[in-house]
Amino acid sequence: MGDLTDLFAPETVAVVGATEREGSVGRAITENLIRDFDGEVVPVNPNYDEVLGLSCVHDVGDSDADLAVVVVPAGIAVDVVRNAGKAGIRNVVVITAGFGETGSEGATRERELRDAAEEYDLNLVGPNCLGIISTPNGMNATFAPENALPGSLSFMSQSGAFVTAVLDWANEEGIGFKDVVSVGNKAVLDEADFVRHWGDDEGTDVVIGYLEGIDDGRAFIETARDVTEDTPVVIVKSGRTSAGAQAASSHTGAIAGSDAAYEAGLDQAGVVRAESVQELFDSARILSGQPLPRNDSVAIITNAGGPGVMATDAVGDSDLEMAEFSESTLDELAETMPDEANIYNPIDTIGDADVGRFRTALDLALADENVGAAVVLSAPTAVLDYDDLAETIVESQAEHGTPVAACLMGGGRAEKAADVLSEAGIPSYFDPARAVDSLDSLARYRRISEREYAAPTEFDVDREAAHEVLSRVEERGENRLGVEAMELFDAYGIPTPAGEIVDSPADALAAAEEIEDPVVMKIVSPDILHKSDIGGVKVGVEIEDVYDAYEDLVSRARNYQPDAAILGVQVQELLDVDAGVETIVGMNRDPQFGPLLMFGLGGIFVEIMEDTTFRVAPVSEPEARAMTDEIDAAPLLRGARGRDPVDRDGIVETIQRLSQLVTDFPAILELDINPLVALPEGVQAVDVRLTVDPEKLRS
């Protein structure tokens, strides 16, 4: 697959399967192209010499096209694509359905299509899609009822129906596009390819997408990271729940679900994720229309108290904060505003404010270095002309270069004003919360564009030793491992407390004597997932009680499950857990993004607390560190209420070492270190559970 420039800017487009038959897709596409396309349209159909007044060739090879749009029946589509390839056409859009979406025959056909594309090095869109649009040359190679308006947003959608709905609505709203792609089954070109292309495309200011899934999450992250440094990418992803999570036997798997992977992966890719279609377009519009804010602080300028409070609440709910004006701004506001006005943020110019007073307040706020962005908010009054106000906002915004979102509340009265604002790239909404949210996504993107991505640290580890531990699943015919696999951590430099697995009371005693002090004793059985649940963990066993404790643990396990395989008892050094924090570091493999790391508050209540955060592995040091900042309990790690802070560097390093372990061994399907006890000095992995795929271990 090569450069996509010609896909969107061909000189000649062939429609293979063009026809005059009423109501057919072949006719709709041909008509759409004839109507607006600046280049040449060549119908291809062996049955006709003319279609819709254009001379029709019988073979795509005779079309001399640089883009072929294929609407022939599925049974012959692959042959047509091959012929196009043979004839030197490099860009193909396969509209035809009946491929991977329809079962095994279709899946085979899709594989053949992919092979053909590979053989002839084709940029292939689809199959099973609505087509593509590019507005600079007026090319509407879709069967949507309407063309798009010209603009600077480039849009990809996994649903063709959604494209037609969006076009209809966007035309009404005056929202324009550079390119539009219905990606279909993504047999060849996928979301990463389009993001890469539009990242380099002069005509595209913002990339937006509606996605149901991302095929290769890691590749997408790598590509999008590059692009989002200077081109914003906003994506709405549907399907927040999945069956994948249900089978999980680890805490990480149970908590993760599939959306956790998308949430983490899209964020790591630098994508601004939208929760709804409205948010998608609100974000896209302000990102294409307004400059980035210099900080996260917002000024609100209003003539009405109530809406000012609403906007203030919305700021509170967002990642933005209310700006604090500088002394000189406050002095000047005090001088110029009436006595009844509020000069502190939100600035209330009060009900009798005319456009002049708004302008004064706006200029002062937008010029203040403490202000990153502003919301101009107004209710209609007899002394305020909305059209003049809109002009004023446009002028002041342009003069100061501080981004603005407007909220000229009202109905018909606000319509023309909204057009004036929109023309200048300033969004205007009735709802103050929407104005604030759009500024929030602007600020979010600023933070993304300023990110510095680091490479993951490579630790010196003993891969062979780790492989040997994992291989024990083979001998045991059991794909789950518990504390008997703690040596994995020795191999990967993750600290563990002193301890030993023994298989007799006498050996338990010897082990405890070596450790000295009271010890912790745990049943060791791959069949017992949650040891404490069956009373299988004894914390603080005195030396004289070790012998009995051994027998008690084994008999509890037998009572619980008579046929459980019991490997023995682990005797472990007792840690001062009260002086630290029990955390969890885990991994669950996501089908699209691969290893998904989890960090959170651990211990036996982890699934009740669900105070966790995720990243796709491998992670760099700053990413691992960010995880320790993100959980709600982060203040606990920093040492709340007179407690000593715990060793955060130790946690950060453990996350990275686990990241390396699960990246090195795709055979590890899921893994929990729970708890990783974080102490004021050092961290200790006291428990582990993992699932291993023996097949993958061999390959």
Q: Are the C-beta atoms of 609 and 631 separated by less than 8 Å?
A: no
Instruction: Tell me: cis bond preceding 293? Omega within 30 of 0 counts.
Output: no
> Which of the listed partners (ligand ADP, Mg ion, none) does 332 bind, with a CB threshold of 5 to 8 Å by partner kind?
none
How far apart CA 217 and CA 124 sit, in angstroms, is 20
Q: Which of 201, 205, 611, 687 lies at the binding interface for Mg ion (CB under 5 A)?
A: 687
**Residue number, nearest CB to Mg ion:** 687
Q: Given the rule CB under 5 A, which of 181-189, 610-618, 659-667, 669-677 is the region that contacts Mg ion?
A: 669-677
Q: Is 674 in the site for Mg ion (CB under 5 A)?
A: yes
The CB-of-539 to ligand ADP minimum distance in angstroms stands at 5
Residue 155 or 599 having the CB closest to ligand ADP: 599
Q: Tell me the CA distances in angstroms from 12 to 171, 381, 541, one per residue in order.
A: 26, 56, 82
CB burial of residue 686 (10 Å; 0-12, 13-18, 19+): buried
Residue tagged 């049943």 (tokens): 523
Q: Is 585 in the site for ligand ADP (CB under 6 A)?
A: no
The CB-of-505 to Mg ion minimum distance in angstroms stands at 24
Residues 223-239 as b/e (b if ≥16 CB within 10 A, e otherwise) read bbbbbbeebbbbbbbee
Q: Which of 54, 292, 309, 539 lies at the binding interface for ligand ADP (CB under 6 A)?
A: 539
The CB-of-583 to ligand ADP minimum distance in angstroms stands at 10
> Which of the listed partners (Mg ion, ligand ADP, none) does 582 bind, with a CB threshold of 5 to 8 Å by partner kind?
ligand ADP
The CB-of-572 to Mg ion minimum distance in angstroms stands at 12
How far apart CA 288 and CA 425 sit, in angstroms, is 7
> Which of the listed partners (ligand ADP, Mg ion, none) does 251 bind, with a CB threshold of 5 to 8 Å by partner kind?
none
> Which of the listed partners (ligand ADP, Mg ion, none) does 248 bind, with a CB threshold of 5 to 8 Å by partner kind?
none
How far apart CA 274 and CA 283 sit, in angstroms, is 8
> Which of the listed partners (Mg ion, ligand ADP, none) does 686 bind, with a CB threshold of 5 to 8 Å by partner kind?
ligand ADP
75: number of Cβ within 10 Å: 11
Compute the residue count for the chain. 699
The CB-of-689 to ligand ADP minimum distance in angstroms stands at 7
Task: Give every CB contact of residue 408 below 8 A, 6+ residues apart in sequence.
Answer: 376, 378, 386, 389, 390, 414, 417, 418, 421, 428
Q: Tell me the CA distances in angstroms from 197 to 158, 241, 296, 408, one per residue in order.
A: 17, 30, 30, 37
How far apart CA 384 and CA 355 sit, in angstroms, is 6
How far apart CA 45 and CA 366 sit, in angstroms, is 61
Q: Is 577 in the site for ligand ADP (CB under 6 A)?
A: yes
> Which of the listed partners (Mg ion, ligand ADP, none) does 546 bind, with a CB threshold of 5 to 8 Å by partner kind?
none
Within 288-347, the residues that bind ligand ADP by CB under 6 A are none
Contact pattern for ligand ADP over residues 655 through 684, marking x by CB under 6 A: -------------------xx---------
Q: Given the rule CB under 5 A, which of 50-58, 481-489, 635-643, 686-694 is the region that contacts Mg ion?
A: 686-694
Q: Which of 63, 572, 588, 656 lies at the binding interface for ligand ADP (CB under 6 A)?
A: 572
Q: Are the C-beta atoms of 182 and 144 separated by less than 8 Å?
A: no
The CB-of-577 to Mg ion minimum distance in angstroms stands at 12
Residue 270 or 580 having the CB closest to ligand ADP: 580
Contact pattern for Mg ion over residues 366 through 395, marking x by CB under 5 A: ------------------------------
Q: Is 520 in the site for ligand ADP (CB under 6 A)?
A: yes
Residue 34 or 574 having the CB closest to ligand ADP: 574
Q: Which of 600, 602, 610 is nearest to 582 (CA)?
A: 602
Q: Which of 110, 190, 582, 647 lies at the binding interface for ligand ADP (CB under 6 A)?
A: 582
The CB-of-556 to ligand ADP minimum distance in angstroms stands at 13
Q: Is 497 in the site for ligand ADP (CB under 6 A)?
A: yes
Q: Given the rule CB under 6 A, which of 79-87, 140-148, 375-383, 528-536 is the region that contacts ligand ADP?
A: 528-536
How far apart CA 539 and CA 645 sit, in angstroms, is 24
Q: Which of 27, 237, 251, 531 lies at the binding interface for ligand ADP (CB under 6 A)?
A: 531
Q: Which of 34, 219, 367, 574 lies at the binding interface for ligand ADP (CB under 6 A)?
A: 574
Single-letter amino acid code for the residue at 463: R
Q: Given the rule CB under 6 A, which of 140-148, 173-181, 425-433, 525-533 is the region that contacts ligand ADP?
A: 525-533
Count of residues touching Mg ion (by CB under 5 A): 2
Within 11-50, the residues that bind Mg ion by CB under 5 A are none
The CB-of-564 to Mg ion minimum distance in angstroms stands at 17
249: number of Cβ within 10 Å: 15
The CB-of-494 to Mg ion minimum distance in angstroms stands at 15
How far apart CA 155 and CA 99 sit, in angstroms, is 24
Q: Is 651 in the site for ligand ADP (CB under 6 A)?
A: no
Q: Which of 271, 207, 273, 205 is nearest to 237 (CA)?
A: 273
Pairing of strands 688-692, 668-678: antiparallel
How far apart CA 305 and CA 297 sit, in angstroms, is 20
The CB-of-252 to ligand ADP minimum distance in angstroms stands at 13
Residue 153 or 512 having the CB closest to ligand ADP: 512
Residue 309 or 543 having the CB closest to ligand ADP: 543
Within 596-625, the residues that bind ligand ADP by CB under 6 A are 603-604
Residue 251 or 444 having the CB closest to ligand ADP: 251
According to DSSP, residue 71 is labeled: -
The CB-of-523 to ligand ADP minimum distance in angstroms stands at 9
Show the beta-strand stretches assigned E in 370-488.
373-378, 404-408, 480-481
Q: Is 670 in the site for Mg ion (CB under 5 A)?
A: no
Q: Are the C-beta atoms of 251 and 603 separated by less than 8 Å?
A: no
In degrees, to the nearest 5, what angle opens at C-alpha 533 toward C-alphas 529 and 534?
Answer: 90
Show the beta-strand stretches assigned E in 265-320.
272-274, 297-302
Residue 205 or 687 having the CB closest to ligand ADP: 687
Token readout for 468 is: 């040997």
Q: Is 586 in the site for ligand ADP (CB under 6 A)?
A: no
How far apart CA 307 and CA 294 sit, in angstroms, is 25
The CB-of-673 to ligand ADP minimum distance in angstroms stands at 9
DSSP 552-573: HHHHHHHHH-TT----EEEEEE
What residue ranges bind ligand ADP (CB under 6 A)?
A: 497, 520, 522, 530-532, 537, 539, 572-575, 577, 582, 603-604, 674-675, 686-687
What residue ranges bind Mg ion (CB under 5 A)?
A: 674, 687
